[in-house]
Amino acid sequence: MSDFRFFSTHRPWEDWFGMLLGGLIVVSPWFPFQSSHETMDAERSWMILNTFVVGMLVFGLAQLEYVALQRWEEVAEIALGLWLIASPFIFGYSGDDMLKIWHASLGAVVVVLGALQLWQDWRLSDQELANHP
């Protein structure tokens, strides 16, 4: 029964993990094993801008959850994770297999984390959310 309690309580480490994920998303275009891009073209600059914005938003939402917990923050994290998964196909860099895998993996982890936190906070009242440690 203690395992169920572990998954039913929103803990601060989850917010810290969200901040770490945001930082990893920001630096993901420069992860090792990427195909080399010596030239900066318009496609690559849009991809980097998109990755930076998504990573900073995930980081900021995780910080906001740490300070003032609200349900909309988890919904926004889920949406950002789904956007990150779809980004290689939207911005046309799906040919870069390693980056596509990184973004799909990081996006999936953001979606799972956001869904877990939303599930944990779903039955809490607004007063209980405000008193979250």
**pLDDT in the model for residue 1:** 44
Residues with Cβ within 8 Å of residue 56, at least 6 apart in sequence: 22, 26
Residue whose token pair is 């956001």: 114
C-beta of residue 58 within 8 angstroms of C-beta of residue 107: no
C-beta of residue 81 within 8 angstroms of C-beta of residue 107: yes
What is the residue extent of each domain of the chain?
12-28+42-131
Residue whose token pair is 């988890």: 74
**pLDDT in the model for residue 19:** 93
Mean pLDDT to the nearest integer, 39-44: 61
Name which residue leads in pLDDT, 93 or 8: 93
- Gap between the Cα atoms of 22 and 28, Å rounded: 10
Q: Is the pLDDT of residue 29 over 70?
A: yes
CA distances from 97 to 33, 49, 100, 110 (A): 10, 19, 5, 20
